[in-house]
Amino acid sequence: MLAAGGTAALAIGLVGVTQLAFAATVFSANFEDGTTNAWSKSGGTWTVVTDGTKAVQQSNGSSENSRLFAGDTGWTTYTVQARVKPLSLGSGGFVGLLARAKSSTSFYRLALMPGNVVQLQAVNSGAVTVLASKSQTVSTGTWYTLSLTANGSTISGSVNGSSVGSGSSSVSASGRIGLQTAYSSGNFDDVTVDSSTTTPPPTSPTPTRTASPTPTPTRTSPPPTTTPPSSNWPTKTGDVSVSGTINVSGTLDGGLKRYCCIGDGSQSESQDPMFDLADGATLKNVIIGSPAGDGVHCEGRCTIQNVWWEDVGEDAATFLATNGDSYVIGGGAMNADDKVFQHNGSGTVHISGFYAKSIGKLYRGCGNCTKSYERHVTVDNVILDSPKYVVGININWGDTATLSRITLINGSKTHICAEYNGVAKGSEPPYLGDGMGDGHCNFSSSDITYK
Query: In this predicted structure, what is the pLDDT of residue 213?
Result: 38
The predicted pLDDT at position 432 comes to 96
CA 432 to each of CA 78, 86, 246, 393, 421: distance values in angstroms, whole numbers, following the listed order: 39, 37, 39, 10, 7
Q: Which residues contact 25 (CB under 8 A, 6 or more apart)?
A: 1, 192, 193, 194, 195
Question: Whole-angstrom Cα distance, residue 427 to residue 368?
Answer: 7
The reported pLDDT for the residue numbered 196 is: 59
Q: Which amino acid is at 196?
A: S
Give the pLDDT score at 18: 31
* Dist CA 8 CA 26 (whole Å): 24
Q: Which residue segments constitute the domains of the chain, with CATH numbers given?
A: 2-194 (2.60.120.560), 239-450 (2.160.20.10)
- Burial class of residue 368 in the structure, from the number of CB atoms within 10 Å of its CB (0-12 exposed, 13-18 middle, 19+ buried): middle
Three-class secondary structure of residue 393 per DSSP: strand
Cα separation of 199 and 77, whole Å?
10
pLDDT at residue 433, rounded to an integer: 96
* Confidence at residue 3, expressed as pLDDT on a 0 to 100 scale: 34
What's the whole-number average pLDDT of the chain? 86
Chain segment 132-154, per-residue pLDDT in tens:
999 999 999 999 999 999 999 99
- pLDDT tens per residue, range 47-66: 999 998 999 999 999 988 89
**DSSP string across 283-350:** EEEEEE-S-BBT-EEESSSEEEEEEEESS-SS-SEEE--SSSEEEEES-EEEEEEEEEEEE-SSEEEE
Extract the runs of DSSP E, i.e. beta strands, from 195-301: 239-241, 246-248, 251-260, 275-277, 281-288, 296-298
Task: Verify cis geometry, omega within 30 degrees of 0, for the bond prior to 417.
Answer: no
Q: Identify the CA nearest to 219 among candidates 21, 22, 26, 24.
A: 26
pLDDT of 204 reads 36
Per the DSSP assignment, residues forming a β-bridge with 276 are 247, 297
The pLDDT tens digits for 306-354 are: 999 999 977 999 999 988 899 999 999 999 989 999 999 999 999 999 9
pLDDT at residue 12, rounded to an integer: 30
Secondary structure of residue 215 in the 3-state scheme: coil
| Distance separating alpha carbons of residues 232 and 355, to the nearest angstrom | 9
CA gap 48, 57 in Å, rounded = 6
Q: Are 224 and 381 in contact (CB under 8 A)?
A: yes
User: Distance (Å, rounded) from C-alpha 94 to C-alpha 87?
Assistant: 10
SS3 of 87-111: the string is EEEEEEEEEEEEEEECCCCCEEEEE
Q: How far apart are CA 131 and CA 154, in angstroms?
A: 10
C-alpha–C-alpha distance, residues 190 and 192, integer Å: 6
CA distances from 313 to 230, 292, 336 (A): 22, 6, 7
Q: What parts of the chain have a pLDDT lower than 70? A: 1-24, 196-224, 264-270
Note the residue count of the chain.
451
First to last CA, the chain: 41
Q: What is the pLDDT of residues 376-402, one digit of tens each?
A: 999 999 999 999 999 999 999 999 999
User: What is the per-residue pLDDT for 35?
Assistant: 87
Instruction: Give the integer Cα–Cα distance in Å for 352 and 412.
Output: 22
How many helices (DSSP H) and strands (DSSP E) are in the chain?
A: 2, 31
Q: Residue 93 and residue 186: Cα distance in Å, rounded?
A: 11
Nearest one of 80, 32, 39 to 58, comparing CA atoms: 39
- Measured distance CA(348)–CA(34) in Å, rounded: 24
